[in-house]
Each structure stands twice: as structure tokens, then as C-alpha cells.
Amino acid sequence: MPDHSDPTALFSRLHALDTDEERRLSPSATPSRQAIRRKDEERPGYRQQFALDADRILHSRAYTRYIDKTQVFCLIDNDHITHRVLHVQLVARIARTIGRFLGLNEDLIEAIALGHDIGHPPFGHGGEVYLSRLCREHGLPPFQHNIQSVRFLDRLERKGRGWNLSLQTLEGILSHDGEIDSDSLSPAPLATFADFDRRLQAKEMDPGLELVPATLEGCVVRLADTIAYIGRDIEDAIILGLIRRDDIPASCRNSLGDTNGTIVYTLTTDIITASTVPAAGDRADDIIPAVGFSEEIALALQRLKAFNYERIYLAPQTRKDMPIIGACYAALFTAYLDGLQSGRRLPDQVDLMTDMDRSYLDSQPPAAMVRDYIAGMTDDFFLSQAAAIGCAIPEKR
């Protein structure tokens, strides 16, 4: 029997995995051997590079906090309503299915999918709007959850040391935002972390800048993000009595279906059949690689997204608690900032502001520390902290 405790044997098995991967993947896929890290790591192991990224994300504190972060509906006392932690798992599963059929790297897909929403603040996109406003008022760039996702994993986790994730994983997380604004995506490759940092800084200064993922795996995750939420949000809205199933536009029902299962199946099947990705053994320069939807399905999906925005995301019932939450955001930001600037002792649990590596504490202005801390909060912790400083908070219903 092989000696699994022998590092040489482990390295040999890992080499065999990498070799097999390159044999069976599309020539346009991203082999694990191509992973680039900010810091070289001399360490034995049996995990391929992007599998290591996925494991590090799963074991991060930020991933643990997904469990109580709003997806769409907040303050709902119903265990069947989707939270952010389920959403990222659905994205990972859908994207891996697509990637398997297209011959792409499923480990890279999983790492990007699991990490793509880690930067979301409490109470979802509504909370992001309030935090962005506060950042601008205090001299910081507008808050963007995709940039904050990278910031958590690359700069804040492990008391400021980060997880040393690969360039390809971090870039996929940064560029996931955009959803179905592009019906078909071809990668815009990056070669170095210097290129990545420039891309991140450009996006930070211009939130409207359209980023295209650097890998086909990142393109798949970006499209799978929409597939994962569009039908699931409809099911949640039906459970809550916000809409009825027959409210879904007939043109969307006819093209996509009227249940989450049929919508996911239709969209996933369409991407697999409509994408142009060379198969294993083909010449990469014979085909321009792209992943996307057919024209008919893309139009139907755009109509369904417009329906979701009108009847679900922007519905008064969905947003009715947001003004109170916005007031809590402002009060907490002010309270934490005053504490840091005055030197008053902060609560022991404020670890993202005080229990950090010296390089973080010396380089970040107080407002950035407050932003990082609030962005990392779960919904319940946010409310408990707001109540502790005397804010009126909404109740679950």
C-alpha cells in the first residue's frame, strides 16, 4: 500500500491529479497549476490550488457569518426563506454543473461562487446603499460588496493577514457583479496581481465600470448568480404572499417555466448548449470562447428580472423596514467613529477595529475601520448593537 504519510508520495499523487486535469479540461479552462498567489507558499499538501482556495473560504470567519445575512427578505420569521448562505451554495452547485459540461475547472468555480458575496453588509442590497452613502460622507469610496468581498478575504481575515488566495479566485469574486447585463461573456485575462490591483482600484473609483471576468470559470459564476436567485426569489415571494404564481408574465412562463426548478433547469441547459467553449483536445484558437444564453432565453430572462424588480425587490412590503435600518446604520457608524477618534474603549467584540495586525491599524483611517466592521456584521448582531446604543429597531414578523 502507498505510504500516505510520505510527502513525496502525496506530491506524486497531486502531480497526477494536475496532469489528469489538464488532459480532460477544455484548452480554454484554467488549470490548477496556473494559480498565482501574492506570496509563494512552500508547504506540502494534497489539495490542488483552487480546491485549497475553496477550503480557505469555507473556513473563514466571514463565511461563517453568511448564515445570518439577508438575501432579499429580511426580518422574516420563516426558516424556508432564502438567506445568503444558501444562495452562494446554490450558485456553486449550478455553476459547477455548467462547468462540468463545458470542461472547465470546477474547483475554481466553487471557490469563486462560495466567496462572491462575503462582502455583503447586513440587510442585503438595501444595507449596501446606506453603507455606501455613509462611506462617501466620510471621505471613503462608495461601498461595493464585491470589493469588500475581496477585502475580507485578501486583507482582513486572520487579523489582517488574509488567506493568500489565488489571483484567479479573487478576480472572479471582484468581477462577479453584473449578472445578466451581459448575455454572453468572453474572458478579459489578467496576468499579474499588479493588473488585478489596478482593476480593483479603477472599479473602486468608478462603481459603474463594467468588469468582465478574467476566466471562463468566473464568467460561468457571474451568470449562475442570476440563475440561482431569479426563480428562488419568486418562490420566496409566493410563500410570503407578495405575488401569485400566475402573476409571472406569460412570455416568461412559456420560455422559462413558472417554478424555480424549471427555471433553473431551462437556464442551465441553455447556457450549456449556447456557449462556445472548445472541448478537451480541440485547438483553443479555433473557437472564441464564450459562455452565455441564446437570444430567446436571454430576452425572457431580462423580462423576468424586470418583473422581479417591480413586484419583489422594489415592492413597498419588501422595503418597509429599510428606513429604520438606515437610521441604525447612521447611528452605529457615528458611534463607532466617535469611539475610535476619541480613544474611548470600544466593546470587546469589535475585533475588526481593534484586534488586528499593526499594519492594518497603522494604515487605515478610522472611517475605513468602521466600514469594515459594520460590513462584516450579521443581521442579528447589527440589530443588537443598534439597540445597545438606543436605536429603535424593527421586529421580526
Q: What is the CATH number of the domain that holds 72?
A: 1.10.3210.10
From 289, 319, 349, the end of a domain falls on 319
153 part of a folded domain: yes
**pLDDT number for residue 1:** 44
The verdict on 285 and 353 lying in the same domain is no
Per-residue pLDDT, 9:
72
Residues 164 and 123 in one domain: yes
**pLDDT over threshold 70, residue 76:** yes
Task: Calculate mean pLDDT across residues 234-260.
Answer: 97
Please say which residue of 280, 297, 319 terminates a domain.
319
Residues contacting residue 241 through CB under 8 Å, at least 6 positions apart: none
**Computed from CA positions of residues 265, 267, 271, 273, in that sequence, does the dihedral angle turn out positive or negative?**
positive
Q: Are strands 291-292 and 184-185 parallel, antiparallel or unpaired?
A: antiparallel
- Could you count the other beta carbons within 10 Å of the beta carbon of residue 264? 22
Q: Which of 319, 341, 356 is the last residue of a domain?
A: 319
Does residue 227 sit in the same domain as residue 357? no
Query: 346 and 283, same structural domain?
Result: no
Q: Which range marks the domain in which residue 330 is found?
A: 322-388
Lookup result for grid cell 442551465: 268
DSSP E strands in 95-171: the ranges are none
C-alpha cell at 362: 497603522
7-16, 100-109, 146-155, 171-180: range with lowest mean pLDDT: 7-16
Q: Please tell me the chain's helix, strand, coil percentages from 3-state DSSP, rounded to the nearest 5.
A: 60, 5, 35
| CA pair distance 297, 303, nearest whole angstrom | 10
**Domain membership flag for residue 198:** yes
Element (H, E) at 292: strand 291-292
Let me know if residue 107 belongs to a domain. Answer: yes
How many beta carbons lie within 10 A of that of residue 255, not counting itself? 18
Dist. CA 151–CA 301, nearest whole Å? 31
- Burial group, residue 40, by CB count within 10 angstroms (0-12, 13-18, 19+): exposed
- Is 371 domain-assigned? yes
What residues contact 268, with CB distance under 8 A and at least 6 apart?
Answer: 94, 97, 98, 227
Q: What is the pLDDT of residue 46?
A: 79
Segment among 63-67, 111-115, 195-199, 273-277 with least mean pLDDT: 63-67
Average pLDDT, the chain: 91
* 141, part of any domain: yes
The reported pLDDT for the residue numbered 349 is 54
Burial grade of 325 (CB within 10 A; 0-12, 13-18, 19 or more)? buried
In a domain, 26, yes or no: no
Q: Provide the pLDDT confidence category of residue 288 given band limits of 50, 70 and 90.
A: confident
Are both 202 and 331 inside the same structural domain? Answer: no
Q: How far apart are CA 384 and CA 390, in angstroms?
A: 10
Grid cell, residue 356, equals 488586528
Q: Are residues 277 and 345 in the same domain?
A: no
Q: b or e along 330-352 (b: 16 or more beta carbons within 10 Å of the residue's beta carbon)?
A: ebbbebbbebbeeeeebeeebeb
Is 70 in the same domain as 175? Answer: yes
259 pLDDT band, cuts 50/70/90, is very high
Residues 6+ apart with CB under 8 A from 358: none
Residues 304, 289 share a domain: yes
The answer to whether residue 373 sits within a structural domain is yes
Nearest one of 130, 162, 148, 182 to 37, comparing CA atoms: 162
Average pLDDT over residues 189-215: 95
**pTM given for the model:** 0.94
Report yes or no: 32 and 107 within 8 Å, Cβ to Cβ.
yes
Shared domain for 309 and 336, answered yes or no, is: no
Same-domain check for residues 236 and 249: yes
d(C-alpha 60, C-alpha 70), whole Å: 19
| Residue 15 placed within a domain | no
In angstroms, rounded to a whole number, what is the distance separating the alpha carbons of residues 338 and 359? 22
For 34, residues 6+ apart whose C-beta sits below 8 A from its C-beta are 168
- pLDDT-derived band at 12 (thresholds 50, 70, 90) equals confident
Same domain, 332 and 293: no
Same domain (yes/no): 112, 134: yes
- Residue whose C-alpha is closest to residue 26's, from 98, 111, 110: 98
- Give the whole-angstrom CA distance, residue 218 versus residue 116: 10
Tally of structural domains, the chain = 2
Highest mean pLDDT of the ranges 62-71, 173-182, 239-248, 281-290: 239-248
List 185's β-bridge partners, or say none: 291
Question: Which DSSP state fits 83?
Answer: B
